[in-house]
Amino acid sequence: MLSDLLTEEKIRFSQDRLTWREAVTQVARPLLDAGDITPGYVQAMLESIEAGGTYIDLGHGIALAHARPESGAVRTAISMLRLREPAPLLDQPEHAVDLYFCFAAVDAEAHTSAMASLARILSDAPTRQALRDAPTAPDVAKLITQFEESQ
């Protein structure tokens, strides 16, 4: 379940105006600090986006930064960063993102299960808005747990 991976310590908020590079680096920080990914994984995400990676834009102002497992995924993990102001991917206004997720998966099974849970949450408009409105990491974690329990 997503609530097992996206724990309070992996949920961050930023009041600063960030570039997309800074946002990707910041959303990856909790995973890097926990040893879930290596610095190479962060670099691989940045390089992928720089090479035209607006594919990580899921719509609705949400992006899912990730890289291939062999780029430095140590454990399956996810983190979230909510921004006060959008940080457009590749500085393109049509890819304005204020809710960044970083996802690392070590195998296809873990990837499928966690992604399915995240997709259900993000496809629900009221829950998407609630993620943006939640003032603290415990509030986000509680929201995700309640959503999963209601499914």
Predicted local distance difference test score (pLDDT) of residue 110: 66
Residue 53: the pLDDT is 81
User: Does residue 146 surpass a pLDDT of 70?
Assistant: yes
Mean pLDDT to the nearest integer, 40-48? 97
Query: Into how many domains does the chain fold?
Result: 1
Residue 88 in contact with residue 100, Cβ under 8 Å? no
Strand-pair partners of 57:
63
pLDDT at 27 > cutoff 70: yes
Q: Structural domain of residue 135, as residue ranges? A: 2-150
Give residue 32's pLDDT.
98
CATH number of 92's domain: 3.40.930.10
Q: What is the pLDDT of residues 102-118, one digit of tens each?
A: 999 887 676 787 788 88
What pLDDT does 34 receive? 97
Residue 24 has pLDDT above 80, yes or no: yes
